[in-house]
């Protein structure tokens, strides 16, 4: 080879290499925030670019947004708090920002929300609406298990193929790569150290970051840990059973709940068996299309609903009531549970979930052990949050994580570890066991709470803020002494079951149905007009026929405004099932209005006026409406 040719060849090689290395260097830019910003919050958003797969340096780059919620302190501490993910895997962290605008973390530090690769606002986002629609479709039929699995698997295959056509490497969306993303962002933003906060799966992501990049972490808060060394699929049924045993025991120990529902546990298993034999038909609005869909809910579906309800303190308190109402045959209580519960199906990037779970968790679980452990709880043996997941993992193409990724993280980084005793998915026992390998850790199990306690408990947040201020000292635990017991809801003592309150809340207050709202407004207007006429003509009124329509109007206006005050000031969850027991006089007022209507009609047979006819007709219509949807 001639010397000149050699020079040209070296130049060509050098030029071809430069763009590849330049392309693979992480970068970030300021951008407009992709999510709504709460009033009064100061938020700065950016997007950073990293290699999709760091083992392939010539591969594509991907982009993830982040948001910095600025501290209330004009001179914040140099080590911010970082919300690494909303769990899942597949939950958007940016959508969680609004819930933290008043967080105690902001007193001294900026709060950074990082969108994990593959999630909603990232590019690419590994979303699989096909799978979520198939999951929802499975609840609207009573097909065999094999048919339902095939429906979800076919949808997952469609999603996988679509993502592959886009050039996405499904094996690159995992905790190890996401931990490297966090480290890149820390360096790009120039922080020497920061504090990581994670719950559920995102606590596992924090642990992975502790394993791989400990030097950049000052402290961590681990909430309801999805423990890497525990085979979660094998423990699914035992963990749920443990949470249910906590529910039954605590209801029995509570005077009100134990007296009202002395046979809660046996009635629960009776309901499961009954619904498996005769599924309950429930009409709900589809979370995406808003079309009315009739679901066919089995006992196994009901177990999944109870599992989801055990996540939150505010829904746990209703579970004994729901179970007993179903046992008594009141299937109306299922509708609000189903309507709210099925929204969660569409809340995560399903493809990201599969890529992480099928790589990091599924390969390390033994299906035979899973069946063996589940067989100890026969009524729960069919419980699987996603019955098709094992089959989908076999074909998804996420690869298998390193064995070390499935082992316990050993670290001396200061750590606060939290758990809730009703947690149905990350056992408090296993969460506590995490601390055995964290030499500078504090563990607290909060009674009367479910999964991700920081989302539910002011005390948990106070513990976390206190800990991050001084992570080498035990946090201030005074609030633990003042935690209130769970106030179980019981029929008659706490609630008057009725669909009307739920219907009004859903159709008028939440859905903002203009036609329905206008109709109700006309009812009220007719009553108000009748009252004005009554006031103006009070002295001249002589007959019962003249006075009674005004009596009807007064009673209906009083009923409407009393009801409105109730539905806008009490627990929205309670409205899903009825009215508070304290509203019992309201029912009497409504009955009195109905009786007044009947007497008014009889008195107006010969002396009807146009106004009294309108008022009476409106009253009758309102009474019928309440009766139909009661």
Q: How many residues does the chain have?
A: 630
Give the model's pLDDT for residue 83.
96
Please check the confidence at residue 574 and state whether its pLDDT lies above 80. Answer: no
C-alpha pair distances (Å), 455 with each of 47, 165, 330, 445, 579: 26, 38, 31, 14, 26
For residue 346, the model assigns a pLDDT of 80
Asked whether the beta carbons of 134 and 155 are under 8 A apart, the reply is yes
The DSSP result for 471-510, as a single string, is TTSPPP-GGGGGPPPP----BTTTEEE-HHHHHHIIIIII
Residue scoring higher pLDDT (494 or 609): 494
- The arithmetic mean of pLDDT across residues 398-410, rounded, is 94
Comparison of pLDDT for 400 and 17, the residue scoring more: 400
pLDDT digits (tens, 9 = 90+) for 9-37: 333 333 333 333 335 678 878 899 999 99
- 515 pLDDT band, cuts 50/70/90, is low
Residue 580 is encoded by which pair of tokens? Answer: 């508070």
Structure tokens at 175: 């905790």
Using pLDDT thresholds of 50, 70 and 90, give the confidence band for residue 539.
low
Distance of alpha carbon 370 from alpha carbon 359, whole angstroms: 18
Residue 569 clears pLDDT 50, i.e. is over it: yes
Q: Is the peptide bond before 89 cis (omega within 30 degrees of 0)?
A: yes
pLDDT at 629: 46
Quickly list DSSP for 523-591.
HHHHHHHHHHHHHHTTTT--SHHHHHHHHHHHHHHHHHHHHHHHHTTS-HHHHTTEEEGGGHHHHHHHH
Question: Residue 566: what pLDDT?
Answer: 74
pLDDT of 580: 80
**DSSP state letter for 116:** P
Please give the full DSSP string across 406-475, using - where no structure is assigned.
GS---B-S-EEEEEETT-SSS-HHHHHHGGGGBTTEEEEEETT--SSGGGT-HHHHHHHHHHHHSTTSPP
For 301-310, 338-347, 378-387, 618-627, which range has the lowest pLDDT when averaged over its residues? 618-627
Give the pLDDT of residue 9.
38
User: Looking at the predicted structure, is the pLDDT value of residue 625 above 70?
Assistant: no
Q: What is the pLDDT, as a whole number, of residue 19?
A: 38
215 phi and psi angles, rounded to 5 deg: -65, -20
Residue 337's pLDDT is 80
Q: At 607, is the pLDDT very low, low, confident or very high (cuts 50, 70, 90)? A: very low
Are 413 and 206 in contact, with CB atoms under 8 Å apart? no
- Of the listed ranges 334-348, 451-465, 534-548, 613-627, the least confidently predicted one is 613-627
User: What pLDDT is attached to residue 521?
Assistant: 66
For residue 555, what are the contacts with CB-CB under 8 A and spacing of at least 6?
589, 592, 593, 596
Which domains, from first to last, does the chain contain? Answer: 27-127+171-230+405-482 (3.40.50.1820), 232-396 (no CATH), 495-628 (no CATH)
pLDDT for residue 1:
46
CB 483 within 8 A of CB 420: no
Q: Strands 111-114 and 194-200, how do they pair?
A: unpaired
- Residue the block writes with tokens 């709210």: 340
Give the pLDDT band of residue 398 (cuts 50, 70, 90): very high
Confidence (pLDDT) at 516:
56
Q: How confident is the model at residue 450 (pLDDT cuts 50, 70, 90)?
A: very high
**pLDDT value for 156:** 96
């Amino acid at each position: 080879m001639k010397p000149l040719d050699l020079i040209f060849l070296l130049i060509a090689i050098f030029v071809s290499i430069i763009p590849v290395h330049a392309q693979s260097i992480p970068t970030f830019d300021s951008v407009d925030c992709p999510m709504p910003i709460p009033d009064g919050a100061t938020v700065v958003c950016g997007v950073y670019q990293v290699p999709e797969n760091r083992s392939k340096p010539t591969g594509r780059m991907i982009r993830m947004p982040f948001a910095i919620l600025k501290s209330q302190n004009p001179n914040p501490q140099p080590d911010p708090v970082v919300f690494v993910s909303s769990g899942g895997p597949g939950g958007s962290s940016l959508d969680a920002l609004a819930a933290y605008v008043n967080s105690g973390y902001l007193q001294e530090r900026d709060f950074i929300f990082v969108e994990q690769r593959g999630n909603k606002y990232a590019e690419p986002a590994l979303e699989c609406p096909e799978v979520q629609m198939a999951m929802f479709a499975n609840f609207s039929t009573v097909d065999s298990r094999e048919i339902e699995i095939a429906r979800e698997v076919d949808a997952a295959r469609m999603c996988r193929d679509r993502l592959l056509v886009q050039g996405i490497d499904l094996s690159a969306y995992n905790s190890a790569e996401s931990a490297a993303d966090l480290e890149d962002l820390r360096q790009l933003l120039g922080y020497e150290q920061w504090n990581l906060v994670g719950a559920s799966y995102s606590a596992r992501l924090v642990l992975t970051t502790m394993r791989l990049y400990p030097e950049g972490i000052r402290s961590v808060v681990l909430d309801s840990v999805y423990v890497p060394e525990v085979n979660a699929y094998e423990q699914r049924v035992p963990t749920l059973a443990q949470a249910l045993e906590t529910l039954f025991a605590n209801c029995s120990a509570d005077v009100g709940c134990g007296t009202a529902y002395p046979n809660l546990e046996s009635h629960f298993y009776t309901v499961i068996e009954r619904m498996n034999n005769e599924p309950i038909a429930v009409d709900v609005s589809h979370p995406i299309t808003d079309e009315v869909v009739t679901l066919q809910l089995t006992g196994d579906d009901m177990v999944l609903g109870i599992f989801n309800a055990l996540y939150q303190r505010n829904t746990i308190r209703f579970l004994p009531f729901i179970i007993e109402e179903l046992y008594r045959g009141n299937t109306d209580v299922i509708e609000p549970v189903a309507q709210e519960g099925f929204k969660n199906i569409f809340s995560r990037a399903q493809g990201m979930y599969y890529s992480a779970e099928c790589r990091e968790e599924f390969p390390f679980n033994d299906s035979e052990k899973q069946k063996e452990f589940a067989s100890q709880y026969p009524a729960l043996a069919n419980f699987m949050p996603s019955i098709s997941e094992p089959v989908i993992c076999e074909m998804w193409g996420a690869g298998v994580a390193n064995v070390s990724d499935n082992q316990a993280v050993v670290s001396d980084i200061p750590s606060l570890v939290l758990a809730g005793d009703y947690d149905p998915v990350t056992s408090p026992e296993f969460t506590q066991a995490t601390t055995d390998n964290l030499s500078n850790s504090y563990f607290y199990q909060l009674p009367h709470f479910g999964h991700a306690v920081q989302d539910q408990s002011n005390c948990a947040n106070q513990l976390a803020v206190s800990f991050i201020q001084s992570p080498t000292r035990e946090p201030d635990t005074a609030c633990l002494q003042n935690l209130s017991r769970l106030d179980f809801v019981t029929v008659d003592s706490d609630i008057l079951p009725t669909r009307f309150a739920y219907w009004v809340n859903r159709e008028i207050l939440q859905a903002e149905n203009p036609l329905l709202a206008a109709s109700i407004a006309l009812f009220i207007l007719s009553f108000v007009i009748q009252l004005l006429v009554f006031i103006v003509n009070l002295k001249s009124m002589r007959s019962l026929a003249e006075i009674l329509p005004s009596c009807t109007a007064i009673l209906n206006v009083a009923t409407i405004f009393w009801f409105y005050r109730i539905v806008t000031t009490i627990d929205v969850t309670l409205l899903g099932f009825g009215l508070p027991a304290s509203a019992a006089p309201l029912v009497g007022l409504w009955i009195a209005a109905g009786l007044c209507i009947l007497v008014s009609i009889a008195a107006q047979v010969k002396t009807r006026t146009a106004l009294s006819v309108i008022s009476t007709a409106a009253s009758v219509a309102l009474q019928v409406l309440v009766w139909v949807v009661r």
